[in-house]
Structure formats: structure tokens, C-alpha cells
Amino acid sequence: MDIIDVHTRSIADIADAYARTRQQRSRPLSIRTAIRALRILAPENPCSDKELSGIVAAAAVRYGHPVEFDA
């Protein structure tokens, strides 16, 4: 994953970077795993898991990933 400065980037930017760096486009991007990563990178983020699911799914689709809604 790219090095991310979470203090100057929005959660959507972080989700976008996460989706962009996934290498295997044939395997679904796990929403649960992505949310876990976002919570580590931005622990003070006020978004709910449901909100993060939508943000991550949009980023994944933008980069051509199938999405596994497992959260």
C-alpha cells in the first residue's frame, strides 16, 4: 500500500488508495478487511461501518474490483 499521510487526506482518499493498490482484480475486495485497514490508518475517523462500506465499495468499483460485502 502507498504510504499515506492520514492527517491531510480524507477517508475517501485513503479508501481510494487502498482499492488502487489491490493487485488481484480477479478476487473480490473484502469490505470487512478494507474497513479494518481504514480503522487502523484513521482510528479517529467518525464514519460508521455502513458509511465506510459505501466509500470502499465505490472506490473498488472505480478500479474494476469485484466487491465482497462481508462486513
User: CB neighbours of 32 closer than 8 A, spacing ≥ 6?
Assistant: 68, 70, 71
Instruction: Please indicate, yes or no, if residue 16 is contained in any of the structural domains.
Output: yes
> How many domains, the chain?
1
Q: Which domain holds residue 22?
A: 11-68
At 5 the pLDDT is 52
Instruction: Please indicate, yes or no, if residue 60 is contained in any of the structural domains.
Output: yes
pTM, entire model: 0.82
Q: d(Cα 45, Cα 28) in Å, to the nearest integer?
A: 25
Instruction: Please indicate, yes or no, if residue 5 is contained in any of the structural domains.
Output: no
Instruction: Please indicate, yes or no, if residue 49 is contained in any of the structural domains.
Output: yes
Instruction: Please indicate, yes or no, if residue 6 is contained in any of the structural domains.
Output: no
Cell digits for 51? 458509511
Query: pLDDT of 1-21, one tens digit each?
Result: 455 455 557 999 999 999 999
Instruction: Please indicate, yes or no, if residue 2 is contained in any of the structural domains.
Output: no
Instruction: Please indicate, yes or no, if residue 1 is contained in any of the structural domains.
Output: no
Query: pLDDT of 30-53, one tens digit each?
Result: 999 999 999 999 999 999 999 999
Confidence of residue 71 (pLDDT cuts 50, 70, 90): confident
Is the pLDDT at 57 greater than 60, yes or no? yes
Cα dihedral 47, 48, 51, 56, rounded to 10, equals 80
